[in-house]
């Protein structure tokens, strides 16, 4: 046997698509497969390398020089979308008609797989993946519903992916499954999460090539690009003011900022962490099916309809009925919402819409708080103007005093009598030197006196 130093093998490995790092005798990182017309090499991590080479095909398996392994069945697994996205890390099984696993392989980053240990015969493909379910939302529920009422037609894998209860029919029950999954009311489908082509092949000679497809159950519009999450870049801003007087009943409208026709709404919005409880959500229409849920600090809403709603600019899409606590009123801009990237919409044909603008109003409480409160000043540190929020369950006389750290009073402001309710107090501190000060606020009613004390940091 002709001896060739390991340097030659290292030269082959240097051409791999994945860069490998080798010492003279040890494979240091990674693993892979490489083939030329006369040789094939596969290797894994950290095994001893034999310093020899035989003419003809070569296999380097588990780091040891062995007889050659020739790829017999090859292929690629891709997601059933417009991009044919490769599915990385999927486990592919090749089974006999009796259900016995003849060989298995794992797809690489290009979705490619290779079977070595098979003979001619008839086989069935099976597959599995740990990639999470993706892009199943109200758009899919709308399309499933439109398929049921014969307003559109699903075919092939997409039709199979819509049968979530494995009833061999697609109907409103499947659409409701999708809505409940999107809103986290359920965490699985009866069908499972992934659908793979289970093709049967008859292999009479090698090499043999066959490609496979995958699709998430429920993703009937094939919008998922695994494993990514699509950012639809819709926006939600705060604009305008809405007054309310009852903390137990606050109705907040979500408003479209441009004319749009909607067939579905998938809405995921972050809520204030404390002091805000969603009591109900209702669409500004009698059409369609609405499912919503509060999961953690998120409102997850799924609405879909076979008939669209037509919104003009400044029309309300839906209302949130909430209950707010006194604690939330103490903080400025405390009622803030944020729309997440999962939110997506569709038109009457089930086509996804993105970059839609929405708004909600700032809330101005005009009622009476349940108890007296004074918030910390904001901003803090402050350069000139600082503010306090004060809640009065009854009319009171208000006095503000500011002291330096040794305790000397350097300013007092008599605000006189203020009516019960929530007020915002502003003070100009631009004539104070930089430093730390103590504020003391008194609110005195006919029967009680309330006080609050804190620090103000003045920066210049």
**Nearest CA among 414, 387, 388, 386 for reference residue 400:** 414
Domain spans of the chain, in order of start: 6-66, 73-131+199-215, 235-365, 373-458
Mean pLDDT of the 108-136 span: 95
**pLDDT tens-digit profile of 227-236?**
887 778 899 9
Stretch 82-91: mean pLDDT, rounded? Answer: 96
Distance (Å, whole) CA 336 – CA 95: 55
Q: Is the pLDDT of residue 426 over 70?
A: yes
Given a contact cutoff of 8 angstroms between Cβ atoms, the answer to whether 72 and 208 are in contact is yes
Residue 44 has pLDDT above 80, yes or no: no
The dihedrals phi and psi of 89, each to the nearest 5 degrees, come to 75, 15
End-to-end CA distance of the chain: 84
Superfamily of domain 373-458: Macroglobulin (MG2) domain (2.60.40.1930)
Confidence category of residue 43, pLDDT binned at 50, 70, 90: low
pLDDT value of position 283 = 96
Average pLDDT of every residue of the chain: 85
Q: Please determine whether the domains at 235-365 and 373-458 fall in the same fold group of CATH.
A: yes
Place of tokens 């503000």: 400
Residue whose C-alpha is closest to residue 36's, from 62, 55, 61, 64: 55
Higher-confidence residue of 9 and 127: namely: 127
pLDDT 10s digits, 356-369: 999 999 887 777 77
Q: Mind listing the pLDDT tens digit for each residue in 366-402?
A: 777 777 888 778 888 898 888 888 888 889 999 999 9
Percent of the chain with pLDDT over 90: 62
Residue range 225-250: average pLDDT? Answer: 86
With 90 as the cut, is the pLDDT of residue 37 above it?
no
Domain at 235-365: CATH architecture: Sandwich (2.60)
Pick the more confident residue, 111 or 27. Answer: 111
pLDDT band at 64 (very low <50, low <70, confident <90, very high): very low
CATH fold for domain 73-131+199-215: Immunoglobulin-like (2.60.40)
Q: Is the pLDDT of residue 355 over 80?
A: yes
What does the pLDDT read at residue 448?
A: 85
**Best-predicted range by mean pLDDT (237-241, 371-375, 444-448):** 237-241
Gap between the Cα atoms of 295 and 276, Å rounded: 13
Whole-number pLDDT of residue 12: 38
Check residue 17 and give its pLDDT.
Answer: 37
Choose between 29 and 419: higher pLDDT. 419
- Burial environment of residue 87 by CB neighbours within 10 A (0 to 12, 13 to 18, 19 or more): buried
Q: Tell me the pTM.
A: 0.73
Rounded average pLDDT over 156-168: 97
Q: Is the pLDDT of residue 306 over 90?
A: yes
Mean pLDDT of 84-101: 96
Per-residue pLDDT tens digits for 48-62: 444 433 344 444 444
């Amino acid at each position: 046997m002709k001896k060739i130093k390991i340097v030659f093998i290292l030269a082959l490995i240097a051409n791999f698509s994945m860069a490998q790092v080798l010492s003279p005798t040890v494979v240091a990182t990674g693993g892979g497969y490489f083939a030329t017309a006369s040789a094939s090499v596969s290797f894994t991590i950290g095994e001893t390398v034999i310093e020899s080479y035989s003419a003809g095909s070569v296999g380097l398996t588990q780091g040891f020089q062995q007889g050659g392994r020739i790829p017999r069945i090859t292929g690629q697994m891709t997601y059933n979308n417009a991009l044919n996205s490769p599915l990385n890390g999927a486990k592919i099984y090749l089974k006999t008609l009796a259900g016995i696993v003849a060989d298995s392989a794992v797809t690489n980053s290009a979705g490619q797989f290779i079977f070595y240990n098979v003979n001619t015969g008839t086989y069935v493909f099976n597959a599995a993946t740990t990639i999470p379910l993706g892009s199943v939302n109200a758009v899919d529920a709308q399309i499933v519903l439109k398929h049921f009422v014969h307003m559109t037609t699903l075919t092939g894998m997409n039709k199979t992916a819509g049968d979530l209860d494995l009833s061999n029919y697609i109907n409103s029950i499947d659409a409701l499954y999708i809505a409940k999954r999107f809103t986290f009311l359920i965490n699985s489908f009866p069908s499972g999460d992934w659908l793979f082509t289970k093709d049967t092949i008859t292999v009479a000679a090698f090499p043999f090539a066959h490609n496979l497809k995958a699709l998430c159950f429920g993703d009937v519009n094939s919008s998922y690009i695994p494993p990514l999450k699509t950012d639809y870049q819709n926006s939600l801003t705060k604009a305008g003011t809405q007054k309310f007087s009852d903390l137990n009943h606050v109705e907040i409208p979500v408003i479209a900022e441009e004319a749009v026709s909607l067939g579905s709404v998938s809405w995921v919005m972050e809520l204030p962490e404390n002091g805000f409880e969603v009591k109900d959500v209702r669409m500004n229409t009698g059409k369609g099916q609405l499912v919503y849920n509060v999961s953690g600090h998120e409102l997850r809403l799924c609405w879909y309809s076979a008939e669209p709603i037509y919104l003009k600019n400044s029309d309300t899409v839906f209302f949130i009925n909430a209950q707010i606590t006194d604690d939330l009123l103490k903080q400025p801009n405390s009622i803030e919402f944020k729309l997440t990237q999962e939110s997506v919409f569709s038109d009457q044909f089930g086509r996804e819409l993105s970059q839609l603008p929405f708004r909600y109003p700032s809330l101005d409480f005009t009622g009476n708080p349940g108890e007296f409160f004074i918030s910390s000043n904001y901003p803090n540190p402050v350069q000139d103007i600082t503010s306090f929020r004060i809640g009065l369950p009854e009319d009171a006389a208000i006095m503000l005093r500011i002291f330096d750290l040794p305790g000397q009073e350097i300013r007092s402001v008599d605000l006189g009598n203020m009516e019960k309710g929530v007020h915002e107090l502003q003070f100009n501190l631009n004539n104070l030197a930089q430093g730390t000060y103590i504020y003391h606020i008194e609110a005195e009613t006919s029967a009680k006196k309330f006080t609050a004390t804190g620090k103000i940091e003045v920066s210049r």
